[in-house]
Structure 1
Amino acid sequence: MTKLIAIEEHFLTPDIRAAWAASPIQDGTSAFDRGEIESRLDDLGGGRIALMDEAGIDVQVLSVTTPALHNLDPEQSIDLARQTNDLLAATVAKHPTRFQAFAVLPTASPAEAALELERTIAQPGFAGTMLCGRTRDKNLDHPDLRPIFATAAKLGAPVFIHPQIPQRSVRDVLYGGFGEPIDTAFAAFGLGWHYEAGIQFVRLTLAGVFDEFPDLQIILGHWGEVVLFYLERLNALARVTKLQRPIDDYFRQNLYVTPSGMWSQEYMQRSLKIVGPERILFSTDYPYQYRPGAPGKAFLEAAGLSEQHKKLFANGNWRRLTSSIQRF
Structure 2
Amino acid sequence: MEFLRLIPFLILPVLAKMPPLITLEEHYLSSATPDAMKGLFKEQVKFVPNIMEKLKNLSSLRLADMDKGDVTLQVVSHAAGLGSYPANYSRAANNQVYQAIKKATGRLAGFATAPMSRPAEAAVEFRRAVTELGFVGALVDNHDGKGGYFDGEEYDAFWAVAEELDVPVYLHPTWPSDDMAPRFQGNFDSIASNSLGSSGWGWHADTGLHVLRLFASGLFDRRPKLKIIAGHMGEMLPFMLQRIERLSGRWSTTQKNFTTVYRENIWITTSGVWSLDPLRCILASTPIDHILYSIDYPFTSNEVGLAWFKELEASGLVSQEELDAIAYKNAEKLLRVKV
1:2 corresponds to 2:1: no
**Alignment-derived partner of residue 307 in structure 2:** 295
**Alignment-derived partner of residue 277 in structure 1:** 288
1:251 to 236, 257, 262: 262
* CA distance in structure 1 between the partners assigned to 2:314 and 2:19 by the alignment: 13
Query: Is the contact between residue 136 and residue 336 of structure 2 (CA under 8 Å) also seen in structure 1?
Result: no
The residue identity in structure 2 corresponding to 1:290 is S
* CA distance in structure 2 between the partners assigned to 1:31 and 1:182 by the alignment: 10
1:48 corresponds to 2:97: no
- Segments of 5+ residues of structure 1 without an aligned counterpart are none
**Alignment-derived partner of residue 142 in structure 2:** 133
1:186 corresponds to 2:196: yes
* CA distance in structure 1 between the partners assigned to 2:167 and 2:45 by the alignment: 29
Output one character per residue of 1:190-226: Cα deviation in whole Å (capped at 9) or x when no partner: 1001111111111100111111100000000111111
In the TM superposition, residue 292 of structure 1 has moved relative to its aligned partner by 4.0
* CA distance in structure 2 between the partners assigned to 1:148 and 1:227 by the alignment: 24
Output one character per residue of 1:242-278: Cα deviation in whole Å (capped at 9) or x when no partner: 0102111111111000111312212112112222211
* CA distance in structure 1 between the partners assigned to 2:252 and 2:71 by the alignment: 43
Per mean C-alpha deviation after superposition, the further-off stretch among 203-212 and 303-312 is 303-312
* CA distance in structure 1 between the partners assigned to 2:151 and 2:319 by the alignment: 38
- 3-state SS of 1:185 partner: helix
Output one character per residue of 1:58-89: Cα deviation in whole Å (capped at 9) or x when no partner: 1110000112x2222xxxx2111111111111
Any residues of structure 2 matched to 1:1-328 within 5 Å, and which? Answer: 1-18=18-35, 20=37, 28-33=40-45, 36-67=50-81, 69-72=82-85, 77-123=86-132, 125-135=134-144, 136-235=146-245, 236-290=247-301, 292=303, 294-303=306-315, 304-323=317-336
Per mean C-alpha deviation after superposition, the further-off stretch among 124-133 and 153-162 is 124-133
- 3-state SS of 1:60 partner: strand
Query: Is the contact between residue 92 and residue 100 of structure 1 (CA under 8 Å) also seen in structure 2?
Result: yes
Q: 1:257 to 1:314 in 2, by over 3 A?
A: same
* CA distance in structure 2 between the partners assigned to 1:319 and 1:185 by the alignment: 34
- 3-state SS of 2:26 partner: strand
Per mean C-alpha deviation after superposition, the further-off stretch among 167-176 and 43-52 is 167-176
In the TM superposition, residue 124 of structure 1 has moved relative to its aligned partner by 5.6
The residue identity in structure 2 corresponding to 1:16 is T
Query: Is the contact between residue 184 and residue 194 of structure 2 (CA under 8 Å) also seen in structure 1?
Result: no
The residue identity in structure 2 corresponding to 1:41 is L
The residue identity in structure 1 corresponding to 2:167 is A
Larger of the two Rg values belongs to structure: 2
The residue identity in structure 2 corresponding to 1:32 is Q
Q: 1:187 to 1:19 in 2, by over 3 A?
A: closer
**How many pairs does the alignment contain?**
314
In the TM superposition, residue 300 of structure 1 has moved relative to its aligned partner by 4.2
- Segments of 5+ residues of structure 2 without an aligned counterpart are 1-17
Q: Give the share of equivalent positions with the same residue, in percent.
A: 29
* CA distance in structure 2 between the partners assigned to 1:240 and 1:87 by the alignment: 43
